[in-house]
Structure 1
């Protein structure tokens, strides 16, 4: 006959933590805490007095999803709010910079069949009561091979979802970009261009394809970085940059070969690897500055990505690069018989031609659209999985 050891009830300060029944109480009042944050608190209390490394939170609390350090930071903040703790002068949770967290309050354990108040000499939180460390629940300190396999499958599923979300976000950005240029040409003063409907269709198709490929590159780069190295922000940013650069360079190479094959020449300077890397940086850095894909509220990383995307678009032009608008202008000027002339759009910005101001403003809009749509898709894809509040 096997004996099942139940997890004891923990007491610290005026709080009672019943892991089995998943209850945190302050006196008789039941406190609400997000499910993952409850597990994080239980891990801290169970290991009271000992450092709990960040990696252990990711392995035991977020085992089924790859998250960044910001998710853990948000969780600790939420736990501190519920406990009334102060990070600057902690009573319960101490931060160990760059390593993890330690539960510093005294913890006593109560057998499940004995929930009566402790004797005066063993008040919750007293040194004597905390002298016996809690026993970890069976299987938590040493995950079984099956659980490790499940974690690997969950990480792979998260990576695939990340790549797909990035692809969809890029496609949406490309659609909006095509509409922007199509309707801009249709209503450009003084006269709209002939064949506007066909031009609009071509621009939407071309912009949608480029956006989809760019989103796939950035999303796949982030997914690969997370799968290989966890949710660290630096790896995410590096993955986004590398993915954007590889896909951007590949698309440019195919485009150059196609134009050389069909027309015998191709314009120099069309968008490619450098621009893809810059947009990848805008996505990764913007999400990080906004608190990560798991941040709350959800619009913070999206807004930060929009700002960094716009800034990167301007910097691309200042560095001599081109996004979609600049590349289309180069193509139109390289083929005299082309019906596509973007000079008319310059009138919206007080220029006679498709000049530097027009190029810079449109690049900023393109960068804003791409970064915000990709980050928005990644945030939306992860929210049902990580359980963070809105």
Structure 2
């Protein structure tokens, strides 16, 4: 029956594989997505020892997390099932090895789900989703600065929109590549992703800064002021990857993860600006001052922060806004495209 209906019954519970629900007496038992996946892995392999490595591969899908994340998942499942570690009825601990589902099933379990693709595909999805997040952030930022930061002409709007999208996609791709490289090494620490994201941000920030400075110098003959670079790239990479790790370990839904990422991104960007970092808005202001005949007019952005010039509040406000949008876009994209379709 399990194979045709997608239902696994044990004790008072029914595990609905197709509907992704755990039912007790017809009532849904609330479980996070990853905790549900962990229960499916156990219940579809009754009596089989499921190692920690197997959980990491099949539930966390190659994303490195700490052992505490698995311990928390099992603890949550036991609480939902009314089970106890000392006298288990459903989930048995095999010390230093893993866990085993020991409940008697009312029906034969459905065929095991197909194995996940190799970790390289997880790394590829991580890089791709992060790049898509950069695209989303670029569109939002492009409209913001295109409307408020130009002279109102169509040419100025389109130029800023396309420039912002290109830079954000480049940033997302660099951070995603750094995290993907770390994930492909299968280091069993979620915080290794933070190092990878930060490193990717540094590389792409330095490359983008060099291209912008030398490109403007070649076109205009003038030496442009310092622009957003490695320091800011490091901050954005660390913020986005840190928020992603927290969202995965806490098993947050996309809305909660987006709020968390916005807070982390705003905080890190604000601190970076305090320490002298120049984010995109501040860079546009310097370019406007350096090239007064350009179509940039950042007074509209400053007025949003009730200033008659792009002073401290505007600098901090735009930095925090950029950090919040960029980090949340990257995290939501990962939860939407990489995790949901893994």
TM-score by length of 1: 0.69
Any idea what the Cα deviations from partners look like across 1:245-285, whole Å, max 9, x if unmatched?
Answer: 11111111111111121122333331011111100111111
Task: Say what the alpha-carbon RMSD is for the aligned residues.
Answer: 3.5
Equivalent position to 2:127, from 147, 157, 163: 163
Match of 1:384 in 2: 340
Match of 2:48 in 1: 46
- Counterparts in 2 of 1:325 and 1:22: CA distance versus 1, 3 Å: same
Match of 1:57 in 2: 55
Matches within 5 A, 1:1-390: 23-26=8-11, 30-32=14-16, 34=36, 36-40=38-42, 45-47=47-49, 53-59=51-57, 61-62=58-59, 65-69=61-65, 72=70, 75-77=73-75, 79-86=77-84, 91=88, 101-102=98-99, 154-185=118-149, 193=151, 195-230=152-187, 232-292=189-249, 295-386=251-342
Distance in 1 (alpha carbons) for counterparts of 2:103 and 2:38? 23
Match of 2:28 in 1: none
- Counterparts in 2 of 1:281 and 1:96: CA distance versus 1, 3 Å: farther
Deviation of 1:24 (Å): 4.1
Contact 2:240 2:261 (8 Å CA) reproduced: yes
Deviation of 1:209 (Å): 0.6
Contact 1:221 1:242 (8 Å CA) reproduced: yes
The secondary structure found in structure 2 opposite 1:23 is strand
Contact 1:233 1:288 (8 Å CA) reproduced: yes
The secondary structure found in structure 1 opposite 2:10 is strand
The secondary structure found in structure 2 opposite 1:69 is coil
Contact 2:46 2:103 (8 Å CA) reproduced: no
The secondary structure found in structure 2 opposite 1:290 is helix
Deviation of 1:183 (Å): 1.8
Distance in 1 (alpha carbons) for counterparts of 2:284 and 2:335? 31
Distance in 2 (alpha carbons) for counterparts of 1:73 and 1:102? 10
Contact 1:41 1:79 (8 Å CA) reproduced: no
The secondary structure found in structure 1 opposite 2:118 is helix
Deviation of 1:57 (Å): 2.4
Deviation of 1:172 (Å): 1.1
Q: Which runs of 5+ in 2 are unaligned?
A: 17-21, 23-35
- Counterparts in 2 of 1:37 and 1:274: CA distance versus 1, 3 Å: same
Contact 1:66 1:230 (8 Å CA) reproduced: no
Distance in 1 (alpha carbons) for counterparts of 2:271 and 2:258? 20
Any idea what the Cα deviations from partners look like across 1:18-44, whole Å, max 9, x if unmatched?
Answer: 9xx9734116x6455546523235668
Distance in 2 (alpha carbons) for counterparts of 1:323 and 1:279? 10
Q: Which has the higher contact order (CA 8 A, sep 6+)?
A: 2
Larger radius of gyration: 1
Match of 2:19 in 1: none
TM-score by length of 2: 0.78
